[in-house]
């Protein structure tokens, strides 16, 4: 059975957004070790806070808001199932860190909005 074009468009949009998010997470695989080292060994002498939060971005370079995720029929389970998430989670485990998706309060007006972040901690 071939899907009609009305059904294919939302699925294509969903897959495009999921791919966009997955690529961001793959990019973090190469950064995480250096970022933790820099944060841990802060030159100011203040110990690192023990976590790093990476804000995920939409295709316009804006923080990825909860309503954008919903508009693409995505949820936390879908994001945690993407290849980028699995690679990043695996790298964090190899380094002895923990990671999680986090929805962070962003704005109250015009409506309450949260942004999606990846938080890495455990050091």
Task: Tell me the pLDDT tens digit for each residue of 75-116.
Answer: 989 999 999 999 999 999 999 999 999 999 987 777 789 999
DSSP-derived 3-state class of residue 7 = helix
Average pLDDT on 13-36 reads: 96
Report the domain count for the chain.
Answer: 1
DSSP-derived 3-state class of residue 38 = helix
pLDDT of residue 118: 97
Task: Tell me the pLDDT tens digit for each residue of 37-53.
Answer: 888 766 555 555 589 99
Distances (CA, A) of 20 to 65, 85, 117: 14, 12, 14
- Domain range spanning residue 46? 5-121
**What is the C-alpha end-to-end distance of the chain, expressed in Å?**
51
């Amino acid at each position: 059975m071939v899907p009609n074009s009305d059904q294919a468009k939302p699925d294509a949009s969903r897959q495009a957004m999921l791919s966009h998010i997955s690529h961001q997470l793959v990019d973090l695989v190469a950064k995480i070790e250096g970022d933790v080292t820099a944060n841990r060994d802060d030159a100011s002498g203040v110990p690192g806070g023990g976590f790093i939060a990476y804000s995920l971005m939409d295709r316009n370079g804006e923080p990825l808001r909860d309503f954008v995720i919903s508009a693409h029929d995505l949820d936390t389970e879908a994001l945690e199932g993407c290849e980028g998430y699995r690679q990043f989670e695996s790298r964090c485990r190899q380094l002895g860190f923990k990671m999680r998706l986090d929805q962070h309060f962003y704005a109250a007006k015009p409506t309450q909005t949260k942004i999606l972040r990846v938080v890495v901690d455990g050091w």
